[in-house]
Amino acid sequence: MNWFEALILGLIQGLTEFLPVSSSGHLEIGKHLLGIDSPDSLRFTVVVHGATVLSTLVVFRQDIVSLLLGLSRFRWNTETQYIAKIAVSMIPIAVVGLFFKDYVEEIFDADNMLLVVGLMLLITAALLGFTYFRKSGERDIGFWDALVIGVAQTIAVLPGISRSGATIATGLLIGNKRTEVARFSFLMVLVPILGENILSLLKADVSQAPVDGAIGPWVLLTGFLAAFISGLLACRWMIEIVKKGRLIYFAIYCVIVGGLAIGGYLW
């Protein structure tokens, strides 16, 4: 992988992590189009995912500080309840991570990955399309809502299912407020992504000395900066998109890209 390929993939990761079009699916499509098959791709994946986590922390820094300050008072206040809801939302993904991680990894190693991505993008399109016909809800996110949204997050481990698309669409479909759904969706994923990256670091020992075919530090830095900057823009943009209820455009986009991915695999 060279610096230009890292730039392209970093931009793809940053934009698609927050826009409801599946970052994992687009990364796979991007690697396929660029012909990238690096033995050190896990190192790059961990770096660009870390960049998008950092962009989330920057965008929601005031919310995070407020929640932590509220939690430090050791009272059952609004902030503590919100953090408890985030914890509830993480239960399904924790179950999948503990007991089904090997099965999920087998999906990512499948020879028909492009076909899987295409089909899952069509499912993402369907979820987003349903929200177009759903009137805006007025209910605050409760503990049951958090659990249901958490289940939606587990489905998004499949390449091509957008995490933000699945969680935001689910929140809207069960009647939660538009202004709350995007915020909750982005905050709830921080701990799982950080945990996944740490486990990947421990498993792969990406801190070890580079081997033949390893991605160099400047290439990694290029990918990191591209993912971080594009992630900042995409995160803020997505919040406004959800408020205005314009997810239907991304549903159309996912249908087109999903169809192209399926066509590319078949032909």
* Residue 223: inside a domain: no
- Provide the residue type at 153 as one letter: Q
* Residue 213: inside a domain: no
Res 209: pLDDT: 45
* Residue 138: inside a domain: yes
Which pTM value belongs to this model?
0.81
User: Residues 11-32: pLDDT tens digits?
Assistant: 988 888 888 887 777 777 777 7
Q: What's the total number of domains in the chain?
A: 1
* Residue 9: inside a domain: yes
Residue 206: pLDDT over 50: no
Give the pair of three-digit tokens for residue 212: 């033949």
Give the pair of three-digit tokens for residue 223: 């990918």
Give the Cβ contact number of residue 213 at 10 Å.
11
* Residue 212: inside a domain: no
Give residues with Cβ within 8 angstroms of 158, minimum separation 6.
Answer: 104, 107, 116, 120
* Residue 63: inside a domain: yes
Nearest to 3 by CA among 227, 206, 217, 208: 217
Give the pair of three-digit tokens for residue 143: 């503990």
* Residue 225: inside a domain: no
With contact defined as beta carbons under 8 Å apart, do 103 and 236 qualify? no
Give residues with Cβ within 8 angstroms of 185, minimum separation 6.
Answer: 149, 164, 167, 168, 171
Tell me which residue range forms the domain holding 135.
3-206+233-266
Residue 213: pLDDT over 70: no
Cα–Cα distance for residue pair 121/196, rounded to 1 Å: 23
